[in-house]
Amino acid sequence: MRIRARRAAEGHEGYGSHEGRAAHEGPGSAGGAGSGTRPRRAAGRLRGWGGVSAMAVACAVTAAVVLLPLAHATPDTGGPAVRKPASMAVAPAAPWSLTDTCQDPEASLRPSDVDGAAIARIKAAGKLVAGVDQNSFRWGYRNQTAEGSRLDGFDIDLVKAIARDILGDENAVIYRAIPTSQRIPALQEGRVDIVVRTMTINCKRLEDVAFSTAYFEAGQQVLAPKGSAITGYDTSLKDKRICFAAGSTAEAALKSQSYGSVPVTVANQLDCLVRLQLGEVDGIITDNALAAGQAAQDPSVQLVGSPFTREFYGVAMNKDASDLVRRVNKVLENYRAGGNDSPWMKAYLKHLQPVLPGVSAPPAPKYRDG
């Protein structure tokens, strides 16, 4: 009851969780101790929280709730930088790639602006329904401004570009917050038109949904408290409680090779950060692009080891919406165009460069026929 009352008072909508709002507030709070932190000390480290009521929410059990629309986004105003993650240039293939049944999963349908059934349905509705995150700092998160809480981030800017192209209005969007495990069901059940939520393209997911060309490259990496004995995705994980989101590529990696770790599964990836802050887990495995933002929020944690996969984010859509896939790929062609003056690079510099420096260009698109 306390969760619902607090969210209603603040105008927040979406999924309730154990997350503790560590990403909703953006940067600005002081850090604290790492693994083993007691709840009393952890309370002071959770961003945007205060007093006993904050800890009550932080310790709440994840509640099952329905998809709800979110507010529109406004620009972010910067944040702290963190140490650049290790290069992904030599990262090996994902450990589950040996069981992949497709070749070149990042190859998508060639771009086109021809309307089909999916585009016609979106135009008739007058709104693009987008499945997004509201908990991933710099990607899709609640940005606290003087005007209130607004949805913001790199993924949100891409949603706006798609809406602007299809409907002529970047604000003609209904945002629906969905947990990691609900990204595919939301598309299959028609609850959303697209999912733009740091979703990795892989062969297994291509059995259920369609993807655009890649719009960002990332890799799985370990996030741990400073001073932790964990050194990366290796034998140092033995007997350690390692957190990951259900339905994520981190889950698949640990199923393939756990190194004797104890798995802790949550609905939303940000829940792992709060569990780490509360001393309930010893480490997190997630995309380093997401983890870099979390390390920027909490100076007591850091990325360790090197990325152990190379992964590409894509816009996910229903498998039957081939016209929408082609249209999104057309948007991405324009979004990448212009080098340092491209909309893609401007979005990167605005949202991601402070926490994930060193990216010089978007991944090159790959196409297939049929």
| pLDDT tens column, 309-360 | 999 999 999 999 999 999 999 999 999 999 999 999 999 999 999 888 889 9
Cα–Cα distance for residue pair 42/275, rounded to 1 Å: 10
pLDDT for 64: 30
| Burial class for 179, CB neighbours closer than 10 Å (0-12, 13-18, 19+) | buried
**Mean pLDDT score of the chain:** 78
Taking 70 as the threshold, does the pLDDT of residue 68 lie above it? Answer: no
Rounded Cα distance, 237 and 233, in Å: 7
Whole-prediction pTM value? 0.73
What does residue 302 show for φ and ψ, rounded to 5 degrees?
-155, 160
Residue 57 has a pLDDT of 36
**Residue 86 Cα distances to 91, 130, 229, 247, 358, angstroms:** 10, 32, 19, 25, 10
Stretch (H or E) spanning 326: helix 322-336
Q: Is 223 helix (H, G, I), strand (E, B) or coil?
A: strand
First and final C-alpha spacing in the chain: 51
CB distance 362 to 336 below 8 Å: yes
pLDDT at 238 > cutoff 50:
yes
| pLDDT at 133 (0 to 100) | 94
Residue 295 has pLDDT above 90, yes or no: no
The predicted structure's pLDDT at residue 12: 35
pLDDT tens for 243-278 read 999 988 899 999 999 999 999 999 888 889 999 999
Instruction: Label residue 100 by pLDDT band (50, 70, 90).
Output: low
Residue 79 pLDDT: 33
